Structure 1
């Protein structure tokens, strides 16, 4: 597939507001592409070259992309800055200037989608001294050889303003349409995506092997699984009515992490949003290497800050200070973390997503060393079928500063990426009206870019009232 053909599909998608039409256009695009091209196109329509957890970002300021355009189209810098600023869209600016230069310097090269994708990946991988200049030269060469429409979408992809109005979920719809012209396979495709959330990988499997190819989408160390979520109820009695006898765990007030361990390859930590945060928590990474007894495993848990002197749990407002990119070592000494693990998704190369909860717990307890002052600790559980005992556990845990309780179905499987009744959480706030609004003062705004250029505003800066300081 030529990149210009890909760009024509993007133009059609940009012009429609119909979700069904967008889905059908994406399906047509994928049906015209090879398996490798489906993988590439699926990422590019989302403005990326790889899934979030691989951390392959362009890292480009608009001024550098504009500099590449100045070079590619032989523009006067002052004119380029004024014109691009007035348009508010580097994509439209690139398209217009390429149209002018095309008539002066001849027609474009026929760049293949795979060829362009490879160049874009190379941009994300460049770092260090001179990398920005090399990125600029690569972009300038691509722009100088493309047709005007391709220049529009290439520029938007590079600066993160593609914004075609859909997410990965629409692409999953389109994959089903690609296969059968309807949504009959949507649930199966999403289930595989929840286990292996790489939109390109799933598309390539489907295009090359059909729906049966998804059987190979199993938990893999180094590929985060979309985390399961719990349902909510208003009273402990509601839990018993839904589950009967269940296992009850304390609900810690920290942040959820998915720990991927491989004896030879090391440790990775991922957030709910699939971000790799291994570098932020060296204490947990180090602990995993000494406190786990297995060849490989995928665990889930809640990281909570601990007072290094009293060993008491810290409130979330203090724990969250560990989420940082700088001064990591110093903050780790100030606020050490304890990871309370409660789930096992993979062990020694075998998936445990469909293993009943009680068996997953046994496997989990068998691989975590119960050491004094350990960083990684398996959560305690209490089996009960009494609403009274549930209430007592809730009172006990909240008096210790925890959030509440979470009940789990004894024979329940792990429902990756889904909210289901295999898990039920209970916090006091659920029994009363929850305040889900904030009064804010608008203090500023950013100019709109991409699709938001016409509206004029991209994002608002708002202030929230601080009662102690009497200020926003």
Structure 2
């Protein structure tokens, strides 16, 4: 799956406040996603690159990200910091400066969800002498392939600032709506399905794995 598809989902989610509407958007997206890709996109829509029980983080703070954006785009860290003070969102700043760079140096590459997730996970394991520069290179490679909107959400994910309003309850309800719900079901039956998905999450601590199992096996895979 192209990462731009996921970036468009982020954009749609960020524009609505209703939990029901967010659930509907995610349910449609999950239905369109192949089983092997579900684990990845369910993680990413939560702003995660590892399941909750895995303790790894990118180790990238805002100041380091400013330097990475500066190094890639050629604009000074001070200019980027000033723009950040105006916009209040480093993802939006990255989008703006990546767009400026793309006008001068267009890229024909396309980013995939697999590539983005793979590289974001690599960030968590880069350490030792020269680790900062290696992280800069990895972020720069991602931004070089990214469209401006993609750059916004890559930066926000790295910083742990995705904030598209997707709580775990919405993920659960979207899984139920996407793969298990029937129009003729009673409120009680719907509640039982939510409880079943909750039960599976309590065992796995990973809604991505739960979504994949439900898509492939239905409720039988959760029992």
TM-score (norm 1): 0.44
Aligned to 1:60: 60
Output the CA distance in 2 between the equivalents of 1:208 and 1:165. 27
1:208 aligns with 2:188: no
Following superposition, the deviation at residue 181 of structure 1 comes to 4.7
Q: Which runs of 5+ in 1 are unaligned?
A: 216-472
Shift of 1:178: 1.2
- Return the TM-score normalized by structure 2: 0.90
Shift of 1:129: 2.4
Q: Residue 192 of structure 1 corresponds to which residue in structure 2?
A: 200
Cα-to-partner distance string for 1:232-282 (whole Å, 9 max, x where unaligned): xxxxxxxxxxxxxxxxxxxxxxxxxxxxxxxxxxxxxxxxxxxxxxxxxxx
Does the 8 Å contact 2:110/2:146 carry over to 1? yes
Once the two structures are superposed, what CA deviation does each residue of 1:215-238 show, in whole Å capped at 9, x if it has no partner? 3xxxxxxxxxxxxxxxxxxxxxxx
Would the aligned equivalents of 2:107 and 2:144 in 1 still touch at CA under 8 Å?
no
Query: Match of 1:141?
Result: 141
Structure 1 moving runs of 4+ over 6 Å: none
| Equivalences for residues 120-135 of structure 1 within 5 A | 120-135=120-135
Q: How far off is 1:10 after superposition?
A: 0.5
Equivalent residue runs for 1:48-87 within 5 Å: 48-87=48-87
Equivalences for residues 458-469 of structure 1 within 5 A: none
Q: How many residues align?
A: 215
CA contact (8 A) 2:214 2:221 kept: yes
Alignment gaps of 5+ in structure 2? 183-188
Deviation at 1:108, TM superposition (A): 4.7
Structure 1 or 2: more strand by fraction: 1
Instruction: Give the alignment's Cα RMSD to 1 decimal.
Output: 1.6
Is the 1:73–1:144 Cα contact (8 Å) retained in structure 2? no
Q: For residues 210 and 125 of structure 1, what CA distance do their matches in structure 2 show?
A: 35
Structure with the bigger percentage of helix: 2
Q: Who wins on radius of gyration, i.e. which is larger? A: 1
Q: 1:22: how far off?
A: 0.2
Name the structure, 1 or 2, with higher relative contact order (CA <8 Å, separation 6+).
Answer: 2
